[in-house]
Structure 1
Amino acid sequence: MKESGRKLGALSPCAACKLLRRRCAQDCMFAPYFPADEPQKFASVHKVFGASNVNKMLQELPEHQRSDAVSSMVYEANARVRDPVYGCVGAISSLQKQIDSLQTQLAIAQAEVVHMRVRQFTSSSNPGVMDMAVDQATMGESLWSC
């Protein structure tokens, strides 16, 4: 049975204490968040932030926010290891560019659908109206308001 990464009775050190080569105390700040079976989590966080800074950040937070803070630090540390300059901001920027590109593609597809519907509607009912609708669509007027 495990409790926050430690075996009951045997007290195996958490990943942080194992990496720092120190005795893991009963009230270790890192033990609940860096279990012994996930050493890479603390290794990347330690490499980017340092153990002392992580300890200070965790102590400044209320206990109910620490788990989320550790998750954020692990995410940022892993992003910094992959991209030392931009970290997770680089990943967010890349994703934002993809969103912008996909929104443009979607708007073009929606405009094409409207254009085809206008052509279909006007060709079946009144051919003269079709020319006027096609001219308006090709002049760059917005067909969709977002």
Structure 2
Amino acid sequence: MKGYEPRSSSSCAACKFLKRRCIPNCIFAPYFRSDECKKFAKVHKVFGASNVSKILVEVPEEQREDTVNSLAYEAEARLRDPVYGCIGAIALLQRKMVELQHDLAIAKDRLARYATAAATATPLLMP
């Protein structure tokens, strides 16, 4: 399974954070290594451990790692921007892209004008 690491006697980050014993078939263990307590804390704060567990159970096993990464990204964004979350970052990037496309169109127009002017200019004759 992708994302799975052989378990030692230490608990996963989720079980450490929740202060419970990590069982051998812990749903969180493959995706929240023991050194990723901050990652789990953010996901737990935004979504709750119970909801994350329910989500992981419903998602096919081969998609769980991507699901956890997505939840972690969304939790980080929501903690940074409680109102808009990751949508705020997307909107900011879209506005920036529109500005850059506008700047590029202006630059292309100027370049075309300079190229046209250079092509139609009469060359100076040297004596």
TM, length-normalised to structure 2: 0.91
Give the ranges of 4+ consecutive aligned residues of structure 1 lying more than 3 Å apart after TM superposition: none
Match of 1:17 in 2: 15
State the structure with bigger RCO (CA 8 A, min sep 6), 1 or 2.
2
Flag structure 1 segments of 5+ consecutive residues without an equivalent.
126-146
CA distance in 1, matches of 2:114, 2:95: 29
| Correspondence list, 1:66-85, <5 A | 66-85=64-83
CA distance in 1, matches of 2:29, 2:6: 7
Deviations 1:118-138 (A, max 9, x none): 11111138xxxxxxxxxxxxx
SS at match of 2:21: coil
TM superposition shift of 1:5: 7.0
Query: How many residues align structurally?
Result: 120
Q: Is 1:50–2:48 an aligned residue pair?
A: yes
| Correspondence list, 1:1-146, <5 A | 4=5, 6-7=7-8, 11-124=9-122
Deviations 1:10-47 (A, max 9, x none): x2000000010110000000000000111111000000
What fraction of aligned residue pairs are identical, expressed as a percent?
A: 55
Question: Which residue type is aligned with residue 114 of structure 1?
Answer: A
Question: Which residue type is aligned with residue 4 of structure 1?
Answer: E
Computed over aligned residues only, the root mean square deviation of the Cα atoms, in angstroms, reads 1.3
Question: Which residue type is aligned with residue 7 of structure 2?
Answer: R
Flag structure 2 segments of 5+ consecutive residues without an equivalent.
none
On the 8 A contact 1:44/1:74 being kept in 2, the answer is yes
Task: Quickly say closer, same or farther: Cα 1:98–1:42, change in 2 above 3 A.
Answer: same
Max Rg structure: 1
TM, length-normalised to structure 1: 0.79
Deviations 1:87-142 (A, max 9, x none): 000001101111111111111001000010011111138xxxxxxxxxxxxxxxxx
CA distance in 1, matches of 2:122, 2:57: 72
Task: Quickly say closer, same or farther: Cα 1:25–1:52, change in 2 above 3 A.
Answer: same
TM superposition shift of 1:6: 3.2
CA distance in 1, matches of 2:122, 2:97: 37
On the 8 A contact 1:5/1:36 being kept in 2, the answer is no
On the 8 A contact 1:5/1:14 being kept in 2, the answer is no
